[in-house]
């Protein structure tokens, strides 16, 4: 008759929300930066705040040009479509966002065929499998055009040596190399790199502001001038040409200024939470190295039951065979203590 409580729009907000780092809301400082933004019609190229954001992100990433997008899904899709023609193919992890979680957009809207490769536990794609999946130049096959990696993936930062190894394949086979860097800033902070070091091996990158950076929305695509020109045409076609979007770009500029170095706090809290839950639940808890952790279930310890118990204690989590918990700027050290306490209480109820 009515939607379940879980789906109801009237569901009260969780006291502690660990479902994702996308749940953050703009802080007072961010809202005031948004309210004071100077704006114009960005489709006409008139919005100075959007232009400033694009310039700053291009510079930080060490690329020639950038374009602001409403979402990371659209920015990845425009990137793939700006690199590829109909009938081309992109190599991608089977766990990658651009393959699994973007509605198949590259195939549906771009006529670009994915060639998925199983991600290893650590998020990497085995290089021999990448090489084996590159198609010969033969009219039977789609044309392999692009390799895409995700960093961080499942919260895990990729090793620079690994990225360079894949870059070598891309260069030697004349393929384009794209980074889905939705959480590239987390990787940057965890590896103590600069953004331009992290983006250097890639021809293009998509960077999100609506994850750990705490902006309400927005992603920036970076690459060469010619590539960004093509991506702007695709963006318009996909409905992503926005007018006074400087209000949103102002939130992203604020995030660049205030919310990057603090990502280290999220990482520390995630690591402490992993440690605490390991003790409370006596089960395998994997810390990703950035702001995520994964609690593994067993016969004895069903994650569905734990998730249900936590939700009843006002702690938001997404259930599955493993429980993914994500720290972000809405999570404090006290919250971590409270979650560990709730997990202990759950353990006491278990047989």
Ligand X SMILES: *Cc1c(COP(=O)(O)O)cnc(C)c1O
202, 122, 125: which is closest to 167 by C-alpha? 202
Residue ranges in 211-245 assigned as alpha helix (H): 225-237
Task: State the greatest distance between any 2 C-alpha atoms of the chain, in Å, as a whole number.
Answer: 65
137, 145, 19, 158: which is closest to 90 by C-alpha? 145
Q: Which of residues 213-232 bind ligand X (CB under 6 A)?
A: 219
88, 77, 97: which is closest to 231 by C-alpha? 77
Ordered DSSP codes for 207-257:
EESSSTT--SS-EEEEE-HHHHHHHHHHHHHTT---SSTHHHHHHHHHHHH
Q: Please, which residue, 72 or 316, has the CB nearer to ligand X?
A: 72
* Binding string, residues 2-21; x marks residues near ligand X by CB under 6 A: --------------------
Q: Does the protein bind ligand X through residue 328 (CB under 6 A)?
A: no
Residue 161 beta carbon to ligand X: minimum distance, rounded to whole angstroms: 21
The torsion angles phi and psi of 321, rounded to 5 degrees, stand at -60, -30
| Total residues binding ligand X (CB under 6 A) | 12
Residue 238 beta carbon to ligand X: minimum distance, rounded to whole angstroms: 12
Q: Which residue has the tokens 């309210």?
A: 35
Q: Does the protein bind ligand X through residue 210 (CB under 6 A)?
A: yes
Single out the segment in contact with ligand X by CB under 6 A; choices: 110-118, 123-131, 203-211, 268-276. Answer: 203-211
Single out the segment in contact with ligand X by CB under 6 A; choices: 186-194, 205-213, 309-317, 328-336. Answer: 205-213
Separation CA 158–CA 156 (nearest Å) = 6
Q: Please, which residue, 120 or 304, has the CB nearer to ligand X?
A: 120
Q: Does the protein bind ligand X through residue 97 (CB under 6 A)?
A: yes
Q: Does the protein bind ligand X through residue 327 (CB under 6 A)?
A: no
Q: Does the protein bind ligand X through residue 182 (CB under 6 A)?
A: yes
Q: Does the protein bind ligand X through residue 248 (CB under 6 A)?
A: no
Q: Which of residues 122-161 bind ligand X (CB under 6 A)?
A: 150
Residue 157 beta carbon to ligand X: minimum distance, rounded to whole angstroms: 13
The DSSP letter of residue 234 is H
Output the CA–CA distances (angstroms, integers) from residue 289 to 203, 269, 283, 327, 346, in the order listed: 26, 11, 18, 12, 26
224 φ/ψ sector (left φ>0, alpha ψ -120 to 50, else beta)? beta
Q: Which of 71, 144, 288, 290 binds ligand X (CB under 6 A)?
A: 71
Q: Does the protein bind ligand X through residue 47 (CB under 6 A)?
A: no
Cα 46 versus chain centre, distance = 29
Q: Please, which residue, 151 or 283, has the CB nearer to ligand X?
A: 151
Task: Tell me which residues touch ligand X (CB under 6 A).
Answer: 71-73, 76, 97, 150, 180, 182, 208, 210-211, 219
């Amino acid at each position: 008759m009515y939607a379940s409580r879980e789906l109801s729009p009237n569901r009260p907000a969780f006291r502690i929300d660990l479902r994702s780092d996308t749940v953050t809301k703009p802080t007072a400082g961010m809202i005031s930066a948004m309210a004071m933004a100077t704006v114009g019609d960005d489709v006409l190229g008139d919005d100075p705040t959007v232009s400033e954001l694009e310039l700053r992100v291009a510079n930080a990433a060490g690329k020639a040009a950038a374009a602001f997008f409403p979402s990371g899904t659209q920015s990845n899709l425009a990137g793939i479509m700006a690199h590829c023609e109909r009938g081309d193919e992109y190599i991608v992890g089977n766990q990658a966002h651009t393959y699994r979680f973007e509605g198949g957009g590259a195939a549906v809207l771009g006529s670009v065929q994915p060639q998925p490769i199983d991600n290893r536990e650590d998020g990497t794609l085995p290089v021999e499998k990448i090489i084996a999946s590159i198609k010969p130049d033969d009219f039977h096959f789609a044309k392999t055009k692009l390799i895409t990696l995700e960093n961080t993936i499942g919260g895990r930062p990729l090793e620079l040596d690994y990225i360079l190894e894949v870059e070598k394949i891309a260069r030697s086979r004349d393929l384009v190399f794209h980074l889905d860097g939705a959480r590239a800033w987390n990787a940057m902070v965890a590896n103590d790199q600069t953004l331009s070091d992290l983006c250097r091996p890639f021809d293009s990158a998509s960077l999100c502001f609506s994850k750990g950076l705490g902006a309400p929305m927005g992603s920036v695509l970076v690459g060469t001038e010619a590539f960004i020109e093509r991506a702007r045409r695709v963006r318009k076609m996909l409905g992503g040409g926005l007018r006074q979007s400087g209000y949103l770009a102002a939130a992203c500029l604020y995030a660049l200024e205030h919310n990057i170095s603090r990502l280290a706090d999220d990482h520390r809290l995630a690591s402490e939470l992993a440690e605490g839950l390991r003790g409370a639940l006596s089960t395998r808890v994997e810390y990703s190295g950035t702001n995520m952790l994964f609690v593994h279930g067993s016969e004895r310890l069903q994650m569905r039951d734990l998730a249900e118990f936590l939700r009843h204690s006002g702690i938001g989590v997404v259930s599955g065979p493993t429980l993914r918990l994500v720290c972000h700027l809405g999570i404090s050290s006290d919250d971590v203590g409270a979650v560990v306490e709730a997990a202990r209480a759950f353990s006491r109820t278990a047989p």
